[in-house]
Structure 1
Amino acid sequence: MTELSVGRPGNPEVAHLRVRPEEQGRVAQLMQQLIPREQEVLGLLVDGHRAAAVAELCGMSLSSVHDRIQAILAKLEVRSQLEAVAVVLGLLNGRGSDGAPERTA
């Protein structure tokens, strides 16, 4: 497994995620689509912070955090914060054409 850092560079609260080797390239590619502020917000979401806490930690308004979260969801092609965190953690291996996780019966 490889570690991937997301969050505020130089901040001790940066999340160091363990990513499976087979997911490393895909996760790195997705993370490159995000601007640094979006990476910071996503890192805090991965750490389990809610939007209000992210706003306080980043010195942003709550509406700005919500805007960043919407941008993250669009760039990662997911519908929820939980899905975005799962993508970063490499948990969503395959997604259907609608962006939803593929389900097996």
Structure 2
Amino acid sequence: MVIWGYRTKMFQLVLATFLCGRCGNPAAHAVLKRVTKFTLFFIPLFPINVKYLTQCTFCGGQNRITREQADQIVAQQQGGPDQGQGQPGQYPQQQPGQYPQQHQGQ
């Protein structure tokens, strides 16, 4: 009998501050790398899927980003004290209507 499956692990690459596309608050976002590996007898062998995403620490909303965007955010955060915080709203680029609009009562 052969036991196989997969296992997913999340790695936090960096924390960056920018405007959240879901809640609209300037908040810290964790840039995460999610790696899914094929396992054989509970031993992870090779990655079958790698995804990058940001997660807002204020509302918990997640947004997928490309590897290039993740690398750029990490380089910007580790570039030095003068480049420490990215411009608000710079990442991630949101498509209009991607998140539900929040209306305030009048």
- TM-score calculated relative to the size of structure 2: 0.27
- TM-score calculated relative to the size of structure 1: 0.27
> Which structure is higher in helix share?
1
> Which structure is higher in strand share?
2
